[in-house]
Structure 1
Amino acid sequence: MLNPEITPKDAAALLASPNPPVLIDVREKWEFDTAHIENALLMPMGDVPSRAHQDLDEDEPILVLCHHGARSLNVTMWLRQQGFSQAQSIAGGIESWSRQIDPTIPRY
């Protein structure tokens, strides 16, 4: 089984591939509006239980993002319990993404 966490560098490589994984951002709307990765699907953590089976495919790779990596890891583990075995949390969240991958994304 895949590691539940993925580094920002490895996540960026996957997102740049010809068949990128779905990227869900589990932060709140104000956080997403402040800073987000292009093409991310906003799905606040509280909405995941009601939306996961509607908006996500169990058989597709999924990357989960939050601010520092705690919420996204919790959501990733929940998704895996629901059958989304390819879900992975981006370690360090958008904070690490901004530091390591895209410094144009604001930090907050």
Structure 2
Amino acid sequence: MKQITPAQLAAWLADAAREKPQLLDVREPWEFERARIAGAELVPMGEIAARLDQIDPARPIVAICHHGGRSLQVAMFLEKNGYNDVHNLAGGVDAWSRTVDPAVPLY
């Protein structure tokens, strides 16, 4: 599992030559409704194990949460379950809002 900064993720998403990662937002639905990164898919942390079939092991994955703690746990869980290209968004949506996209609300 690799850490990725918001700036690195923004550059990756802007790079047309790179395969786009699956943006896996592991927060709760109310958090996702309040603030989200465009293109992210909501799969709350408590539902990950039951919804592994919705996570493509052939694609790179970026796990996202509020500050990076829950997503780190999910990223480690995915690696233990055979996912090889897993990244954790360091600082989470909060850091994304502060450094990449201030239009994403802080909460």
Task: Tell me the TM-score normalised to structure 1 length.
Answer: 0.93
Q: CA deviation at 1:14?
A: 1.5
The unaligned stretches of length 5 or more in structure 2 are none
Q: CA deviation at 1:104?
A: 0.6
CA distance in 2, matches of 1:21, 1:31: 21
CA contact under 8 A between 1:4 and 1:89: conserved in structure 2? yes
Q: Which residue of 2 aligns with 1:8?
A: 6
Question: Which residues in structure 2 correspond to 1:87-106 (within 5 Å)?
Answer: 87-106=86-105
CA distance in 2, matches of 1:102, 1:59: 28
Q: Which residue of 1 aligns with 2:74?
A: 75
- Count of aligned pairs between the two proteins: 105
Q: Which residue of 2 aligns with 1:29?
A: 29
CA distance in 2, matches of 1:76, 1:4: 9
Q: CA deviation at 1:4?
A: 2.2
The unaligned stretches of length 5 or more in structure 1 are none
CA distance in 1, matches of 2:39, 2:83: 20
Q: Which residue of 2 aligns with 1:84?
A: 83
Percent identity of equivalent pairs:
46
- Secondary structure of the 2:82 match is coil
Deviations 1:54-89 (A, max 9, x none): 111112100010000000000000001101110111
Q: Which residue of 2 aligns with 1:40?
A: 40
Letter in 2 for 1:26: V
